[in-house]
Amino acid sequence: MTIPREPVFEEESRFCPLCECLVLVGAHECGRCGMPIPSTKKVMREAPRSGKIKTRKGLPTLRFSYTYMIKSDLKDLPFDLMMDSVREGTRGICITRVFPDIVKRRFGDMDIPVIWLSSTATEECIRPRDLEKLSLIIEKYILIAPSVVLLDGIDYLITNNGFKSVLRLVQILRDYVSVHYSILLVTLPPAVMEKNDLLMLEKEMDEII
């Protein structure tokens, strides 16, 4: 794969990546569909020449076009990797089972959209059975620029949709991040899946952390 040129920073488009509606400057979500919109003025339009993201000492290095499974009891690890990526200038989007206000407090003033996997009818929510919408939001988001996607709550998706449906979702997302030079982080707490299902899911990963 050809490594992109030096990072280029441009003014971020003020159009919703999901429905392409014009978004007012300063708005944090689309007025039409409710998609969270980053408000940062500049975003990295191309990945670094190295093809990697520098992370803090002790954390694994992330490579663009890679899909990672994070199998760890360290609940802060995936969020730390996300924050380090954004500090380096890469866009990030977080899909999680954790209540958005809690995640946003962890991110502080970092401009990372947080989408809640929940059946609660809120603007920042995606219902767990709406895998097609989830896939579309991620695809639209990473089309703008290289991004890190954190999918935290895959066990919850499996509970609501069955393993095969979620496996297909992961396969689709893996292709998206590969083609669009982005990164997918999939969290999976230890001992939450049957052995055969876990092996099938691991085969779709480029690396396991």
For the segment 164-180, the average pLDDT, to the nearest whole number, is 96
Model confidence pLDDT, tens digit, residues 37-82: 665 444 555 555 557 776 776 788 899 999 999 987 788 899 999 9
At residue 142, does pLDDT exceed 50?
yes
Tens digits of per-residue pLDDT, 99-132?
Answer: 989 999 999 988 898 999 999 867 778 999 999 9
Distance CA 202, CA 209 (A): 11
To 10 degrees, what angle do helices 77-87 and 100-107 make?
Answer: 50
Q: How many CB atoms lie within 10 A of CB 206?
A: 15
One DSSP character per residue, 38-56 reads ---SEEESS--TTSEE---
Report the 3 state secondary structure along 146-157. CEEEEEECHHHH
Q: Is 99 within a domain?
A: yes
Angle CA(152)–CA(14)–CA(110) in degrees, nearest 5?
45
Q: What angle do CA 136, 61, 94 make, to 5 degrees?
A: 30
pTM above threshold 0.85: no
- Sequence-separated (6 or more) residues with CB below 8 Å from residue 132: none
CATH classification at residue 92: 3.40.50.300
Q: Is there a domain that residue 141 lies in?
A: yes
The count of structural domains within the chain is 1
CA distance 203 to 3: 25
Three-state DSSP state, 9: strand
By the 8 A CB rule, do 102 and 116 touch? no
Instruction: Identify whether 90 is part of a domain.
Output: yes
The answer to whether residue 156 sits within a structural domain is yes
The β-bridge partners of 5 are: none
What is residue 4's predicted lDDT score, i.e. its pLDDT? Answer: 47
Q: Are 209 and 60 in contact (CB under 8 A)?
A: yes
| Cα Rg, the chain, nearest whole Å | 16
Q: Residues of the chain with pLDDT > 90: what percent? A: 47
Q: Per the domain annotation, does 18 fall within a domain?
A: no
Distance (Å, rounded) from C-alpha 19 to C-alpha 7?
27
Which residues span the domain enclosing 62? Answer: 44-208
What are the beta bridge partners of residue 42?
11
Statement: residue 96 has pLDDT above 80: yes
| Residue 172, burial from CB neighbour count under 10 angstroms (0-12, 13-18, 19+) | middle
